[in-house]
Structure 1
Amino acid sequence: MSRILIRGATIITMESTSPVPPIENGAIAIEGNTLAYAGPLSGLPADFQPDQTIDATGMLALPGLVNCHTHAAMTLLRSYADDMPLMSWLNDKIWPLEANLERDDIYWGTMLACLEMIKSGTTCFADMYFHMRRAGQAALDAGMRASIARGMIGTAPNSEEALAYSRELVQSWQGQGDGRITVTLGPHAPYTCPPAYLEKVVRLAHDLNVGIHIHLAETRDEINMINQQYGQTPIALMEQVGLFERPVLAAHCVHLTEADIEILVRRRVGIAHNPQSNMKLASGIAPVEKLRRAGAIVGIGTDGAASNNNLDMFEEMRTAALLQKVSTGDPTALPAYAALYMATAGGAAALGLEGQVGRLQAGLRADLILLNTRVPHLCPPHDWYAHLVYAAGAADVDTVIIDGRLVMQNRQVLTVEEEKVYAEVTQRANRLVAAAQK
C-alpha cells in the first residue's frame, strides 16, 4: 500500500456547509486510496511514514471538483453546431451526427473529456451517453471517478434494447476500478420517455438497486409540452410515475414552481445545475438560490462540450454565483463558499457519493487537487474561497490525485497520451461531420 504525504499546503476541507478558516501549513496523509489525515502539519501522526512526499508550499489543497452532468464524448461535437435553439440543435444537428457514432468514437471522445477535466481539476463526473462500456473504459484508463448511464429514448425503436443494455451495464460495470465506476439508469427526459416507459425504468432501478440520471424542466418548450400532454409539470409527472422513489440526479431544473421545489427537497433529489449550457441555449436561469435556501441538494455540471463549449468547472462556479446575483438582484446570493460547496461536497451528495468524496476528511477516498497560488490573480490572499470562485482558473491546477493515485503533477497528465488523443479525436470528428453532411 503506497503512502503519500502532502505538506505545507493551505487546506480547504469543505467539511462544513458553512465557511471555516482554511488550515495553514497543513498536511494530508494518504494510505492507498484513502485519506488518513488532513489537518495542521503539527497534528500529523508521528507513525505515518510516507513513500513519497510532495512539497505543497504556496499551494491550495481542496477536494477534487465534481462535474454533476455531462455527455463526455460530445467533445467530438465541440463547436460543430452553435447558436441554435435546443430542439433545433438536437433534431437538426446533434441527433443526425450521433446516428453515425461508433463504439471507439465514444472511447476517444470520452478520453479527451477526461484529459480536459483532469487538467482543470475535476476528479469525478456523471456521464450520460451511448456505448457506455467504452466510456467507462476511458474513465478507468484515465484514472478518473465516474458515474455512467446509458442514455435511453423511450420513443425510439431501440427503447427495449436500451433497457436491456442498461441492465447488463449495471451488472458488469458497477464498482469497476475498485469502486471508481458507478452505474445509473439514464432515461433522457420526460418529452422523450413517456410515463409507461419511465415506469419500466423505475422497476429496473428497483430491481438493480441503482439510481436514475435524467434531464428535467430544462426549457419552456418542455414545460409546455408536458403540460399539454399530462396537465402538470415535469417534476409533478415524475413524482406521479414513481421516479423519485429511487435516488435521482436531475439535470437542469430551470423552470420550477414552488410545488416542484417542495417535491425536489422532500424527495432528496440531486440537482445538477448547468449555468453556462443553460445560458448558451437560452434555456433560462435555474432558481439555485431558492433551491439552496429550501434545503435542496445542488451540484454543478458543465453539460456536454457541444453545448458549453468546455468542461471547466471553475468557469461554471463563477457563472453560477454571478447568475444568481444578477437574476435575484441580491449581491449576497450564492456566495463564494456556497458555490464551491456545490462543486465539491454538494456535487458528491447529488451523485450519491457523499460518504466517499467531496471533502478532505480522514476515511474518505483520496480525491484532491493542488492549486498554485503564486500567480498574480490569486494575490493578495484575503479570502481563499472568493479567490477560488471569482479569480482562479483551470490553468492554476498543478496536481491531481484520484483514489490515492497521482494522475497529474506539475501540469503533466500521467495517465493519458495527449498527442494520441488529439490525433484520434480529430480524425473521428472529421469522419462524423462528413457522414452527417451526406
Structure 2
Amino acid sequence: METKNILIKNATLIADEIKKSSILIENDEIVEISNDLKFNDADEVIDASGKLVIPGLVNTHTHLSMTLMRGLADDMPLDTWLNDHIWPAEAELNGDYCYAGALLACAEMIKSGTTCFNDMYFFMDHVAKAVDESGMRGVLSHGMIDFGDETKRKNEFKETRRIIDKCHNSADGRIKVAYGPHSPYTCSQELLEEVKKEANKSGHRIHIHVSETQKEVSDSLESKGKRPFEYLSEIGFLGEEVTAAHAVWLSEDEISLIKNSQTKISHNPSSNMKLASGIAPVSKLLAEGASVSIGTDGTASNNNLDILEEMKITSLLQKVNTLDPSVLPAKEVYEMATINGAAAIGLEADIGTIEVGKKADMALLDIKTIRMTPFRNPMSHLVYSAQGGDVDTVICNGEVLMENKKLLTIDEAMVIEMAQNAAEEMLTKKAD
C-alpha cells in the first residue's frame, strides 16, 4: 500500500499540555508531533494557523437514524414520548430510512467535530453502510428487546449475530459491533445473562440504557426488589465492557457498584433535561473514580448531535445542581468528551488523545471568530465558548472528512434532501 502523509503545521494543540506544534500523519496514524517538524514531502499540508487542534470528539450514546424524528415529539414525558410517538414511528422504519437518517447524523457529527460514536438502533448493516461512506469511526449495536418472549429473544440474538458477522471490523477496522440489550425493563433476565455470556466469550462490548427515570427505578424495586444497577450486579451483568447510558437515579451503593465493576457511564444531559428525567450525579461518580463520558442520545430527545454544546451543558448542570461553581472544571469535561469517551468503547489505546502512535482522529477549530476572541484560555474557550459551527477541519483514521467547513465524504445537499424525503415518507405511513 502506498504511504500517504498529511502535515498539519502551526497548530495550537491540546495534548498533554497546550502548545504550538506541527503534526505528521502517515496513513491512519500520528507519527510525529514537534515544534520544528521539517517534512517536505507531504501529500497534503494543512496550515493550522489560527486553529485549535483537539482529538476527535467521542459521542458515547446515540441513535443515529433518529435524526428522521427530530422535532417529532417535544415537551412530553419519556413514557408518553416512547409509547405514543417514537415506537409507532419506529414501526415504519426500514433499511433505506435508517441509512438516510444515519448519513444525515454522520454529516452533523463531522461538522461539529465528532469522529467516533457508540450507536444503538435497528437495521444496523444499513447504518454501517452510511458510517463506512462517511469515513467516521463507530461502535454499532442492534437494540435488543424481548419483553420476556422467547421467540423474540431468539430473533434478537439472530439479528445481533448477523450484524456482528457482517459488520464487525469492517470499513478498514473503523466499525466495531457491540451487543445492545435495550434496558433492564425491556429485556428479560435470560436475554441479559446470555448477552453477558456471549460478549465475554467473543470480546465484544455491551451498550445498554439504565436508570434513566424515577419510574424505571420504582418499577424495578416493585418487580425485582432491587434498583436497576443492583439487579444487574446481582445477575453478574456489570463490568468494564459495559457502557450504561443515563444512570440518572443512583443510590450511594449503586455508585460503588459502578465504580467497583468498572462499568462505563454515558452521561446525556440535554436529553435528560428535555425529557425531565433528572440530573445524573456525575460529579459524585467522578469523585468516586468511575469512568463517565458524554453522549447526546438521539435527536428526537436532544435535538442535535453537537458534543461541544453538550460539554458546556454537562459542566453547567453539575455546577447549578451542587451549587458549587468549582465542580466539573473545563479540563475534566474535555476529558469526558475525549479520552473517557474512548475508554467507554474500549478504544482508549487508539483514540481520545493526540499522541504519537495513536490513530489520526482530530478536529481543527477556528479561533479567529467573535466568540473565541480574545483567545487567552484554550481549554475554557473550547468548553464554554465554542460551538459546532466553529469546527473547520475534521480528520478520522488519517482521512480528511471536512476541510474549510466543507464536507468531503458526504454530499451535504444530497443527504439533506434524502433525509427530508425519508422522514416525510415514514411519517406519512405512520399517519396511515
TM-score normalised according to structure 2 size: 0.97
Q: CA–CA distance in 1 between the matches of 2:119 and 2:79?
A: 21
Write the mapping of 1:276-425 to structure 2, written as runs, cut at 5 A: 276-425=270-419
Offset from partner CA, 1:215-249 (integer Å, 9 cap, x none):
01110010001110111111111111221246101
Q: In the alignment, which residue of structure 1 is the partner of 2:175?
A: 181
Tell me if structure 1 keeps the 8 A contact 2:6–2:46: yes
Contact 1:170 1:208 survives alignment (8 Å): no
- What is the correspondence of 1:208-247 to structure 2 with a 5 Å cutoff? 208-245=202-239, 247=241
SS in 2 for 1:243: coil
Provide the C-alpha distance between the structure 1 equivalents of 2:158 and 2:198, rounded to a whole number of angstroms.
10
User: 2: CA distance between counterparts of 1:151 and 1:400?
Assistant: 29
Q: Find the residue that maps to 2:187 and give its secondary structure.
A: coil
Q: In the alignment, which residue of structure 1 is the partner of 2:51?
A: 59
User: Whole-Å Cα distance in 1 between the matches of residues 102 and 154 of structure 2?
Assistant: 25
Provide the secondary structure at the position in 1 that maps to 2:364.
strand
Residue in structure 2 matching 1:109, options 84, 101, 116: 101
Aligned with 2:111 (options 101, 110, 119): 119
| Counterpart selection for 2:157 from 156, 163, 169 | 163
Distance 1:418 1:195 in 2: 43
Residue 70 of structure 1 corresponds to 62
- Once the two structures are TM-superposed, the CA of residue 61 in structure 1 deviates from its matched residue by 0.5
| Alignment RMSD | 1.2
8 Å CA contact retained: 1:407, 1:414: yes
d(CA) in 2 for partners of 1:53 and 1:424?
34
- Give the deviation of 1:172 after TM superposition: 2.3
Aligned partners of 1:169 and 1:183 also within 8 Å = yes
4+ residue runs over 4 A deviation: none
C-alpha deviation, 1:168, in angstroms:
2.1
Alignment correspondent of 1:7: 9
Q: Report deviation, 1:52.
A: 1.4
* Partners of 2:178 and 2:26 in 1: CA distance: 29
2:194 maps to a residue whose letter is: K
Percent of paired sites with the same residue: 44
The match for 1:100 among 92, 96, 99 is 92
The Cα offsets for residues 170-226 of structure 1, whole Å up to 9 and x where unpaired, read as: 122111122110110000001101212211211221232211100011100100011
After superposition, what is the alpha-carbon deviation per residue over 1:87-129, rounded to whole angstroms, capped at 9, x for unaligned?
1110110001101101111001000000000000000011000
CA distance in structure 2 between the partners assigned to 1:128 and 1:29 by the alignment: 34
Residue 23 of structure 1 corresponds to: 19
Conserved? CA contact 2:240–2:263, under 8 Å: no
Deviation string, structure 1 residues 37-82 (Cα, Å, up to 9, x no partner)? 22x422x3x5674221111111100101100001000000000111
Alpha-carbon displacement from aligned partner over 1:382-412 (angstroms, at most 9, x marks no partner): 2110100100011110000000000000000
**In structure 2, what is the Cα distance between the partners aligned to 1:64 and 1:48?**
26
1:84 corresponds to 2:101: no
* Alpha-carbon distance in structure 2 between the residues aligned to 1:430 and 1:292: 42
SS of the residue aligned with 1:207? helix
| 2:426 counterpart residue number | 432
Q: Which moved more, 1:426-435 or 1:97-106?
A: 426-435
Is the Cα contact below 8 Å between 1:9 and 1:60 reproduced in 2?
yes
Structure 1 residue matching 2:245: 3-state secondary structure: strand
> Could you tell me how far apart the structure 2 residues matched to 1:140 and 1:319 are?
30
Contact kept in structure 2, 1:206 and 1:246, CA below 8 Å: no
Q: Does residue 271 of structure 1 match 2:265?
A: yes
Kindly indicate whether the alpha-carbon contact (under 8 Å) linking 2:6 and 2:42 is maintained by their aligned counterparts in 1: yes
Mean Cα deviation higher: 221-230 or 241-250: 241-250
SS in 1 for 2:355: coil
| Alpha-carbon distance in 2 for matches of 1:309, 1:279 | 12
Secondary structure of the residue aligned to 1:430 is: helix
Aligned letter for 2:56? G
Alpha-carbon distance in structure 1 between the residues aligned to 2:396 and 2:345: 17
After TM superposition, the structure 1 stretch with the greater mean CA deviation from structure 2, 361-370 or 148-157, is 148-157
Instruction: Judge conservation of contact 1:210–1:246 (CA < 8 Å) in 2.
Output: no
Which residue is equivalent to 1:143?
135
- With normalisation by structure 1, the TM-score equals 0.96
How many aligned residue pairs are there? 428
Q: Deviations over 1:255-306 (max 9, x none)?
A: 1111111111111111110000000000000011111111111110000000
1:113-158 deviation digits (Å, cap 9, x = unpaired): 0000000000001100001001111101011000000001121663
Give 1:193's aligned residue: 187
Q: Which runs of 5+ in 2 are unaligned?
A: none
**Given residue 344 of structure 2, which amino acid in structure 1 is its aligned partner?**
A
Is 2:27 aligned against 1:32? yes
How big is the shift at 1:371?
0.6
CA–CA distance in structure 2, aligned partners of residues 423 and 47 of structure 1: 42
Partners of 2:227 and 2:80 in 1: CA distance: 22
- List runs of 5+ in structure 1 lacking aligned partners: none
Letter in 1 for 2:12: T
